[in-house]
Chain A
Amino acid sequence: MSESESLFNSGILTDERPGAIRPPCDKWKAKKSGLVIVECPQRIPCNPCATSCPTGAILPFEDINDTPVIDYEKCTGCAICVAVCPGLACFVVDLSFGKDKALYKLPYEMLPLPSKGDSVTCLGRSGEALAKGTVEAVIEPKRDKTYVIHVSAPKEFANDIRAIKVGG
């Protein structure tokens, strides 16, 4: 088993696969409010991302086990999917946010809850600290204790930052 395969088998995305495709670069850079990034590469019986996307950007599943396919033309970066996905596998990254900084809209279900203005540590897929970020907004779209935290952090980690650590 190759190194990258065993990493993947332990829950770390190592490359693009069906259900975990990156948005096309040019569209992504230009898109105000950002585009969705879904990292859900396994066929599982689950579909709330598709059924709750207000614009139909996550294409309707024919079979509940389908992996998500995205129409980036329709995605508004609203992050509803970020809040509803039970796998915490949807993220939005807005590259239009600033010159050097992107706005990361990440799901968060831990304690403590950060507040606007707090400095947090941005984590990669294996929990490695990548950069410091600043909390720009704390939103609870569905009022169901899954928060979407808007964090500004360096753009260069657009393909890597997927979680935050608050405090410590």
Chain B
Amino acid sequence: MTDISTDILVVGGGAAGLSAASEAASCGARVLVVESDLQLGGQLVKQTHKFFGSKDEYAGTRGYKIAGILLDEIEECGRGVEVLTNATVTGYYAEDKTFTVMRGEDSYSRIKARRAIIATGASERLIPFPNNDLPGVYGAGAVQTLMNVYGVTPGRRVLMVGAGNIGLIVSYQLMQAGVEVAAVVEAMPRIGGYWVHAAKIRRLGVPILLKHSIKEALGGRVVEGAVITELDDKFNPTGQERSVDCDVICLAVGLSPTTEILSHAGCKMRYVPELCGSVAERDRTMRTSNPDFWSAGDAMGIEEASAAMVEGRIAGLCAANSLGLPAKMEKLDEYWARLDHLRAGEVGEKIRSGIVKVSRGGWEACCNE
């Protein structure tokens, strides 16, 4: 087992982690980014569509290109930022303030860091239904990885479960890859994602069936179809059923924040439905109740890459500042103005009401110890 030490450990190399790393390094911190995947970029590398947001967050640019922009920024930090890919942080031992990291399949290291920024993103939720263990039932993330990272189509004809942004966008990407989308089923009486994303696939002929869900997958050894059912106002099946011809069932029913390391570190957590799971309490600097730990991005509540990047910058700036490095703390107000801007709309309302529940004012005082 080897030992590594750094000023600031960033766990997760997605939108939030990369932004945090470059911000902290630009203040003069020595930063180590640890990423489980073989490459940096997190969810961004799978997003072939153009992003929303404003120019500051690269609106109108495709997700994977934004990953490229962030990687160039990391490159420019030179030796300020070191990166370990194919390396997973498996735990934090509070008694000796040490992280363990598994590199590849069988090599372990210990990491000692003065500060940590947890930017581990989210994991996909699944729902139970008969035969959901058949090959051909995928999470939307897996479908995206197959198509957009490895260039492999998952099948011929897909039933999409869930009309949030992920379900809508992945449906569109499937069609771009030449895969048919049989239908999108959504339990709620309206789409959860942006209306324009729904309109995009509607005009290409994909039905979006509101108040519908999957009842079961059909097939012996692999998915050969599905039965969908209509739901009433209380989400109970109405008995109106029909079968759908498909060889792939793609589940896009939501994400939950990945927070194990924050729990290891004893950060105060709280279940907040608006943020899609149990998340850490935080102050304005994205610091948790453990004064050595910051967090940002989907790990702090499921939101968007645009917000994840700004939160990452806040965490990077403030973690560096807490080490006594020359951080331009006046940027904090500007970053918050950007977040407030992004969260001002109808869709941001949910996020705002969730964040209020986990925001704590008091910890900022210990910023400059």
Q: Which residues of A contact B (CB under 8 A)?
A: 1, 6, 9-13, 39-48, 51-52, 63-65, 84-89, 109-111, 123-128, 144-146, 162-163, 165
Contact = CB atoms under 8 A, between A and B. Distances in A.
A86 B52 contact: yes
A44 B196 CA distance: 10
A11 B175 CA distance: 17
Contact of B195 (A41, A65, A110): A41
Interface stretch (B38-46, B88-96, B203-211, B288-296): B203-211
Nearest to A6: B210
Given A6-B189, A64-B54, A48 B59 contact: yes
A42 B196 contact: yes
Contacts of B191: 9-11
A147 B75 CA distance: 32
- Report, nearest first, the 6 A-B pairs whose CB atoms are least far apart: A127-B205, A11-B198, A87-B196, A65-B345, A86-B50, A9-B190
Given A11-B208, A43-B345, A46-B59, 10 more contacts: A6-B210, A40-B196, A45-B341, A52-B60, A64-B344, A85-B60, A87-B52, A87-B194, A110-B204, A123-B204
A110 B23 CA distance: 37
A47 B196 contact: no
A42 B205 CA distance: 21
Interface string B179-223: 000000010011100111111111111101110000000000000
A34 B345 CA distance: 31
B62 interface: yes
A141 to B, nearest CB: 12
Given A52-B60, A86-B50, A9 B196 contact: no
A144 B175 CA distance: 18
A150 B191 CA distance: 31
B176 A65 contact: no
A109 B342 contact: no
Given A1-B189, A9-B189, A110-B176, A162 B346 contact: no
A103 to B, nearest CB: 19
Nearest to B346: A43
B68 interface: no
A44 B175 CA distance: 24
A12 B203 CA distance: 8
B307 to A, nearest CB: 9
Nearest to A41: B195
A45 B86 CA distance: 34
A39 B199 contact: yes
B52 A125 contact: no
A104 to B, nearest CB: 13
B176 A42 contact: no
**Which size bracket describes the interface of B in this complex?**
35 or more
B348 interface: yes
A65 B348 CA distance: 9
Contacts of B210: 6, 9-10
A9 B304 CA distance: 22
B344 A65 contact: yes
A12 B54 CA distance: 26
B202 A126 contact: yes
Interface in B316-355: 341-348
A45 B190 contact: no
A126 B205 contact: yes
30 contacts: A9-B189, A9-B191, A10-B163, A11-B199, A11-B200, A11-B208, A39-B199, A40-B196, A41-B195, A43-B345, A44-B345, A45-B306, A45-B341, A45-B348, A46-B59, A51-B55, A52-B60, A65-B345, A84-B50, A86-B50, A86-B59, A88-B199, A88-B200, A110-B175, A110-B176, A111-B176, A111-B178, A127-B206, A128-B205, A162-B203
Given A40-B196, A63-B344, A110-B175, A84 B203 contact: no
Contacts of A84: 50, 60
A145 B61 CA distance: 11
Contacts of A163: 203-204
Nearest to B193: A11
B49 interface: yes
Contact of B347 (A11, A44, A128, A165): A44
Nearest to B61: A144
A109 B197 CA distance: 13
A63 B337 CA distance: 12
Contacts of B62: 144-145
Contacts of A125: 199, 202-203
Contact of A46 (B49, B52, B204, B206): B52
Contacts of B209: 10
B53 interface: yes
A13 B347 CA distance: 19
Nearest to A65: B345
Q: Which of B54, B190, B202, B209 has the most CB of A within 10 A?
A: B202
B51 interface: yes
